[in-house]
Copies of this chain bind each other. A is one copy, B any other.
Amino acid sequence: MNARIFRGDVRLDAIPADDRGIAYGDGLFETLRVHRGDVPWWRDHWLRLQSGANRLGFPLLDAALVREEVASLFADGGDGVLKLLVTRGAGQRGYAPPTDPVPTWVVSRHAVPAAPAQGLRLHACATRLAAQPVLAGIKHCNRLEQVLARAEVERAGTDEGLVLDSAGNVIGATAANLFAFIDGRWVTPTIVDCGIAGVCRARLLPALGAVERLLSPADVESADAVFICNAVRGILTVARLGQRAWAPHPAIAAAKIELSRLHPSFAVGSA
């Protein structure tokens, strides 16, 4: 991993043991798709990070400094994935946040994941997402639910998982939002009490004329087409959920064309 670590504007070699990120998952992150050294959806991710920082009470990072480091990491003008992690920084033992936190932040460069050769198989995860409106929507670092759900996916030998909230409503995949084509329209679960409001999801909602509503597993199974999406991989077609199989559907092809207009990394045929 090609990573650079800072606390405030001071570069560090590694993360000190007193960091609140390691102690309590007291942090936020963003994962961004880089296209020829550029980050087309930078502003979307930055705004969500700021929203999370406001919610958790972190000071904002120096945007110019972060952008400078990102530019330097991708100075070769290459493609890739950028992860930006921010924690509340150093703290004493105990939950009380420091009064003047200096955030720790890490920028790291990763390879673009391989495009799947065919539609994804989803496992119906038993791990549910707890209802916690105070933390819902933002991309914080308390992710044990997703870790446990993804561990189920690994054991099942599928590509991703369908994750429900504690009431049994569909929220999405472990690391992606979900859209289902129902009665000629794209529908995506509301993100109110749990789940992450994805940047790709937010871009696709208006582009596809999609609507947000409660979705049951039965709604997804009876949908004419299903895809999952995130800002790193774009739209990924779902081919199976348990015994339910979907054939390729023109609505997904059309959605991919819409997405290709929104982000150059997702040009149709390129992934």
A contact residues vs B (CB 8 Å cutoff): 1, 3, 5, 12-27, 29, 31, 56-57, 81, 83, 85, 87, 93-97, 106, 108, 110, 127-128, 130-132, 134-135, 140-151, 153-154, 166, 174-175
A15 lies within 8 A of B18 (CB): no
> Which of B1, B14, B97 has a CB less than 8 Å from the CB of A13?
B14
Q: How far is the CA of A19 from the CA of B18 in the complex (A)?
A: 14
Mostly, the A contact residues are mixed
A58 to chain B, nearest CB (A): 11
List the B side residues contacting A95 at CB < 8 Å.
143, 146-147, 149-150, 174-175
List the B side residues contacting A128 at CB < 8 Å.
132, 134
List the B side residues contacting A14 at CB < 8 Å.
12-17
Q: How far is the CA of A110 from the CA of B95 in the complex (A)?
A: 15
List the B side residues contacting A81 at CB < 8 Å.
93
List the B side residues contacting A146 at CB < 8 Å.
24, 95
List the B side residues contacting A135 at CB < 8 Å.
144-145
A141 lies within 8 A of B13 (CB): no
Q: How far is the CA of A32 from the CA of B3 in the complex (A)?
A: 34
A56 lies within 8 A of B148 (CB): yes
A129 to chain B, nearest CB (A): 8
B21 lies within 8 A of A96 (CB): no
Cβ contacts A to B, 19 pairs, < 8 Å = A1-B17, A15-B15, A15-B19, A17-B85, A22-B85, A22-B87, A23-B29, A23-B143, A24-B25, A25-B144, A26-B143, A31-B93, A56-B148, A96-B153, A128-B132, A130-B130, A130-B131, A131-B166, A140-B144
A83 lies within 8 A of B93 (CB): yes
List the B side residues contacting A147 at CB < 8 Å.
20, 24, 26, 56, 95, 97
Q: How far is the CA of A15 from the CA of B146 in the complex (A)?
A: 22
4 A-B pairs besides A22-B141, A132-B166 with CB distance below 8 A are A3-B18, A24-B144, A97-B151, A131-B131
List the B side residues contacting A22 at CB < 8 Å.
15, 19, 21-22, 27, 85, 87, 106, 141
List the B side residues contacting A130 at CB < 8 Å.
130-132
A156 to chain B, nearest CB (A): 12
Q: Which partner residue on chain B sits nearest A141 by CB separation?
A: B25
Q: How far is the CA of A176 from the CA of B63 in the complex (A)?
A: 39
B15 lies within 8 A of A17 (CB): yes
Q: Which partner residue on chain B sits nearest A88 by CB separation?
A: B147
B141 lies within 8 A of A24 (CB): yes
